[in-house]
Structure 1
Amino acid sequence: DAAGNASEAATASSNYDAVTPNILITESDGSTKVSEDGSTLIDTYEIVLASPPSADVTVTVSAAEGVQVNTAGGTAASVQTLTFTAASTWNEPQTITVAGVDDNIDTPGGSRFADITHASSSADPDYDDRNIDSVRVTVNDDDPTTVTFAGTQNENGSIEFTITLSRSLVSSETVTVPLTFGGADALAFSGNEIQTVPLSINGIAITALQWVIEDAIAQTTDVVTDIAIRGVDYTLSCMPATGVTCSNLNSGDAQVVFAGNDGTMSTVATISVEIVSDADQNGLRKMVSMGMGEVDSDGLGDNPIKQIVQDSPNVQDDQVVLPLQDALEISVDNVSAVEQAGQIEFTVRLSRVADRLVTVSYETRDSTPVSAIEGVDYEKKQGDIEFSQGEREKIIFISILNDGVADEDDETFELVLTGGVIPDGKEVVAVGRILNSNYSPKSWLSRFARTVSEQVIDSVRDRIAAPRGEGVEITLAGQPFGSPADLERVTSQEGSAVSDGNGTFGLYDEFGRLDILNSNTGKGEIRTMTERELLLSSNFTVTDRKDSSGGNLAFWGRAVQSRFSGKQGTSPLDGEVNTAMMGIDFADDELLFGTMLTYSSAKGSDGEDGKIDATLNSIVPYGSMQVSDGLSLWGAAGYGSGEMTLTSDSGIKLRTGTSWAMAAFGTRSDLRHLNAEGGGPALTLTSDVLWTYAASDKAQGLAASKASVSRLRLGLEGVWNKTYDSGDRLTFRLETGLRYDGGDAEKGFGVEVGSNVTWSNPGSGLSLGLEARTLLMHQDRDLKNWGLAASAAYDPSPETSLGPSLTLRYNAGGQSAGGLDALFAPAPLEQRSESSDRAAGNWTAEAAYGFAVFDEMFTAVPYMGVGLSDAERDYAIGWRMERKSNRRSTSELSFYVEGKHKVPKGGQTEFGYSAGFQYRVRW
């Protein structure tokens, strides 16, 4: 046959000369056979090259309908591709696994065939488009041939029953249906409730057909008292049909035989019932019970036989007197419920209303293979349910547990019914599907990836703008302390970076004093100081001397921290990302190129109860080019991998690997420069594009996830400077920025417009400023954002800290710097709307006086400040001291001490102090 031919071809292939170019196929056991269900029986064969090729060889394996093929570690499909490399794997056999695909079609003969073909391609002409043997697969059919036993009553009152096959048989197939008739079990009941008699054949519950023969007159009882005798009380006759033979219908072992042929055969055997009238007028009721025995078959292969018994009427001499009662059967539906629902409901039904007490046992169990886990995803439950007479439906409640695991596949478990009307050894099974309702780490992963990418971009921009003077610069910032009751505590801006990477913390300026003059950052929070924060306040740069071409190397390091927040559905998610960076770059007057290594660690929450920890190691090459006097370009690309751990409230930890990639490109173009004196108009265009991608691997209980984020920013800034003969200087600035955030995190498109006007008189030390900004348009129409600020300052010696200085500032709304500064902030526009406590505005003021001390080696600056808003009043008084620097100095040193007094509206007055120092050295 075809399978044998394929086997012979495969065997012949294995005898090729080892030096002759050929593609060899070897079937296991000389043939390939599989089961239709795809799991009971699978088979394999191997493919290998007979000789070394001069180039890689690709073999495409294509399976016909009805089978699928797979490779090691792959996914079953109709097409697979194998690659044999010329360098190493050409002589290593590769295994193809073959599995059947269920078609729900009852195939004559119990099996069918499907061919697998092969095609090759290669730059080696000896292996390109080779004629490769195909493999014929024998698929064992598992779909049953159904035999249905049914009774009908015609309009004239006659009775017929039929035996029907689900398909025609071929010449090699026969089906034999034995008929059974009432016995002792048929009278196992009394009264007028006529029931069907349950039978079990090969473990399949079937029902006999029943009716009652009743004398027409003088009925004295409603009780069935006797069994009707075949051939005496009734006779059977078979209607002729092609391929159908009936034998011994009225005596002996009755049976109906269906024999296949090459022509057309009948799939229905019809048997008529004729009631024999007797002369006795005894008023007895006689019951007839007729059904199928165990059906036998020949030539159907391994196909099972399914036997079904349908409704039939009850008859007597001249009329139907009692309704038919079907056998009681039980069923339960497959159901699903979301994890947050807390329970899942299974509805158990009888096929009809119970006419007696029916008890069924139930219990839960894990699916095979295991999906949902008992005690983790659902609670085990077992017991009995009872249907009283007249009842038909019951509900079983199973508790499902929220495992706190996000981004997992839906999980299943089973409810199993046994006993009662279910035959011994058999089960009725329903599947409960738990739909995951936790918030996917995909949302958290996308924001984590974006945050790391933005930290990288900010560092690249800082490196491009960094000075390239020879020497070593190390920054070790001081740490401000809280009140005596709160030692080792630090105040930081809520929702922003703890450090900007340059040694400043939260609301404190570079001298460590409270920066109430620029505290347009909202309320602070008190947190315990950590070693991580101390690390974040430090950075270093080692710059080599310039070579003959004017370029030099620089080795640098820094640590940064950022926070993000967002929502998945209605639940918030957040994270804190700490990244340590170390890099080396080379720069001259036109080019800069380098590479940085980064290590990021993050902690956060993915929603209501899931906690996430993540680490990431990455490498990022970067560079910039000064294309012309007014145009510069920069770019960066990176790749990294790491690990993510999800921890549920119940303590379950799921770990998976992660990967990360990013690419960014930016430009800055000076469309018009200020004139040589620094006056006149100037116009600058700035833009950048960011794309970042992150993925997590599939793990036990956790599905694989992928996320990407994109960002486009474009800004235009115009400046006009005018210096008057009196020395007065007037600057007008107009900015507009456009930004779009897309991908799997926050999305939005918006346009911001900002403007400021400043006036200064260097001779008097006076300066005035007015800034305003508004979100002109946003994709979210409900988002509003604006800012306004006015300032006045007096500092007759701005180049030093000596002498008096006075500043006064008013802020209202959100950030007033506007335009490019606000637009190019890392946070998406959606996260930068003004808060209600800023809209009313606040005033800040500071007065200071600097004078030389210690033989003019230091400058001492006592100062005092005040801040007023609707929410609180702040008072500060302090002293800072700076060592005066000169061109030959290689270090900078400053100290400060400060006391503060805070009076919240309606709250308790707070007192505190802080002290610190900052030391910078270059060598």
Structure 2
Amino acid sequence: MMVTLMSDGRLFFPLHSHDIRPRGRASQPRFFSISQGTFRIITGILLAAGMVFGINPETARAQNTATYTVTFQGNWKAESTTDVPSGAHFTTLIGAVHNGNQTFWNAGSLATPGVELVAEIGGTSRFRSELMAAGNNVKTIISWGIGSGGGAAVTKTVEFSKDHPLFTILSMLGPSPDWFVGLSGFSLLDGNDNWHSSRTVDLFAYDAGTEEGTGWSIENSSSNPHVPISSLKGTGKFTNVRVARMTFTLKQPVQQTSLSISGGSPVTEGNNASFTITASPAPTSNLTVNLNVSENSNNGRDFVVSGNQGSKTVTIAANATSAAYTVATVNDDTDEPNGSVTVTVSGGSGYTVGSPSSASVTVNDNDLTRVTLSAAVGNIPETGGTKTITATLNRVLVAGESLTVPLTFGGTATRNTDYMLAGTPAAGVTYHNLNSGNARVIFSAGSRTATLTLSTRNDTMDEGTAETVTVALGTLTPSSLGGGATSSGTASFSITDDDTGPVAGVMVSKGMLSLTEGGTADTYTVVLTKMPTTSVTVTATSSDNTVVKVHTGNGQPAVRVTLTFTGGTSGNWNQTQTVTVTPQQDTDTTQDTASITHMVSGTGDYAQVTADSVTVTVADDDGDDGDSGSDENDGNVDSGVDVGSDPEDPGPVFMETQFAFTMARNLVGPAPVRDAGGALGVVRAEGIGVTYTLASGGDGLFQVDAATGAVHYVGPGAATGHYALTVQATDSRGRVAETQVTVEVRDADTVSRLNRVRQTVLPEAARLAAGSAFAAVSERMDATRMATRLRVAGYELRTATANLAETLSTGVALPDLPQLLAGSEFVLPLSATGDAAGLAPVLWGAVDWTALSGGRVTDWDGGMFNAHLGADVRLSERLMGGLALSHARGTFDWTDQGGAPSVTGTYQSRMTSLMPYLGWTAHERLTGWAGATLGRGEVKLNDAEAGQYDSEATAWSAGAGARGTLLAAGQMVLALKGEAWVTQWEADGNGPLAALNADAQRLRLALEGQQTWTLASGSVVVPELEVGVRHDGGDGETGTGVELGGGVRWSHPAQGLTMQARARTLLGRGSYRQWGVAGLVRIDPGADGRGMSLSVSPALGVATSGVARLWNEGVSRSPAAATRYEPRLEAALGYGFAAPGTSGTTTPYAGFSLADTRAVTWRAGMRLATGAGLDAYLETNWREPTAGATDHGVMLEVRRRF
């Protein structure tokens, strides 16, 4: 286990994680899946540890909010100012509740335009825009009117949170040049991360440094240049007495009591299920608790004894912290799925229902599950015969259960030779190795029956009698079947032979051999045509052993050699045996001839069989003294051809030929082989009266036309690969030549599939890479140019001048480095000149990772990792130029369903590009950028059947964008941003892959508006409006989306109540539509976290995507998403109370999320704030889908401030 010491003193214990998929720059998941066993062990350890600290097992994590009564009291009087002007007053107080990521003003720093406007004339619009631009860094914007006069006062209720504990406020001293009072980043947390019960702070005057002047007038010349903000305390007109005072008083909650429940260990049916109801704090008198008892029998019989279900009660004795409750279960003799008993604490008098409010105990069945094998009675024919065999369970299996059923085969028939098996698809049933290896059927949830079809394979062999088949069940392997499993039944039948026996005979492969005396030997083969009843011998005898001799294998050449052929299923009667013929040396000058005869000896059909002889011609190699020393054979041997002694007719000579062709599946009838150029594949030999034969090779898949030499493929249609064929050419004189032909058979479906996958995925990889590169440039334009910044895995590490607290995020283990680095970025100025004159070079970098999936015929899923390293310089006051190096790496898994069966594989792309870019600022409300990329890389396509194909690739892209504020007046803000770009990737061809150009274009526009009203009651109303347009064109997934959304939020900080409503509609390509509505009601506890907290958020349709999702993701790729408008509900309830033995607060809570009626996610947790600088968090969640296993997660976090 890794323990991380946080910069604020926190100790973080990351546990274990599965299936984490971070996307883009989104924050990483805080919860993760672990196995159920590990979950129970860790939970037990952590809860035990919690009890050492005084943590009850049923407590949950606390709310982190606090509510203060805040008072501003003016004191602009003679004691604070030597000559108070006539009409002295404070202007509207403007500020915010925020976190430490943002500082809006500070003494020693230059005033922002917003601070300048407040200090000079009391205007708040610019400062409000700066607060709104801080986004999530701001919790609440403060805008308080105040009465006239230097002694005016105002009191309001303000809510703070642990994530937003700071308070900033401004008010002009009017009339004055540019003087104001205020607070900057004032924290309501103490050093132990606890809320102050009260705080008082005196306010003094500040000079904004933007105007000249020392008198009580607003008509003054501007300071040039502006100087940093400075304190006026004790200088000029101001004394050391405060100008105003602010007080903060924490509102205290009322403590309540709650109940929770836990279940005991799983039990076997017939035993009692145990539960414990826990009270905290203990009741002072006997407390009657209402319970509801229910069961889940998974469609089996009842587990709970009759009369024990429904509404029940249990009593917790006075001053006791718990009570036990048991539920009796039934022990029957029926096999059924495991079930469970659930006890829920219901509402009642004298207590509140805490978390968890219900608990379940598993009840395991103890009866055997039976599987029975059966088949119809009767034999089947060898031609077209089928037999249906079924394996049936005595009940349907439920989630978590499985049974592995091995199949055994016996009899004289051979599996995958005489018959084949195929399994009928059925829910929850999988088939393995039906025709080879260890055959088995696996039953899982939802299954009961497996159906096998046994089909005979016809042959031309006369087996004589029927072959037998026996199918039985092997040793069963059950999983989560409490009573185990047993089997019964076999299937036995015969396959009747329908073949007519061939004529008994002996086949000799060659009738003529041409040799040279003393030269290389040649061979021929001998084989029987029908299986004999007894052994058969064939004796090959040379008619003249001075001309040729014969032998087999490694034997010595002799006059004769005997070949033995045996019958039966293990005999060699149908296997060729080779006879080697060796020419002998003599001294004469004549050509010799001999014959090899074959005597057959056998019984039965082979009693009268004869065999052909082989004629052998041996050319002389002895020279004639009168022939100038030349050999008597003036011909030559070319490509293995014996040309004899006639130079005018040397015999057949082959031309070398190589073939490769594309084959269609399920080929019917002969198909000519075609080479890569598309011409008919033929072998050609020059000679007189040449005829062609296929001597060997090809596994019976090919034929050769005797007259033309055309090679034909005759199937079957799935036999792809490389084949070596030996083709013989025989001329009119019986001379023979041989050549080797290599044929590659390709699958047309494979070629189509490979190109279809690349055409589907490559455009999306191109679109992701270009989108990431231009997003990096756009964000570079939005960033503060000379501010040093470092962000790792989406979390910012601040400089030494910033608050170091909260800088390290939770240490969740990620599956690989690219996802770990997602959201990382840095900005490093290389010059200390800031924004002053000069180039002011800046080095920057950014990393993102995006998950993406899609497809129709080809389904694909994966992610793209993008990394960018750039440097830019200031070319002028409003123009910036730079150069970036980008690297994009995509990895996708795909499944192609264009054929039968479906095929899987992987697709990888890598592209490294250079990107020059420009950025400009037209004025403070309008910025723009433009850039282009040029890169080289590679793509790798791996097919589970066809292997891997690599191709080089090039890419280019060009784009531009702009953003601006259309309106920023008072409390209204209206902003517009847009961009457009185009990209193209070109991938080379390789083998079956054709060259491919993938184009993609994108156009995006977004308009956002917001208006804020602060009512006299202290409540705040914020209506919002968003409009977005996005168009993706080119190849791959394309379309146009238009989104309109809006909502209104009302909050009352004093009452801790917030209500929000939101609606949106999205129009996509074709008939694509999306719409949704959502609401929120939230009640926050008191400032110290003690009291009830409640959050309920219902939704219908897709209500929360917003224009930001359309900007980043575009229109949904799933057509089904346009028609699913099922309701969703999220809710959470908690209660904070004083922690026993400490001055801190313990808050248990529970919640659930129900989405699309397909799964429910429960979560429960506890937070202990000890009040001594030590906080502990424990949280767990579990997701229960309607099908499949339950996912669990747990998180422990300990914080310690030093």
Scaled by the length of structure 2, the TM-score of the pair is: 0.35
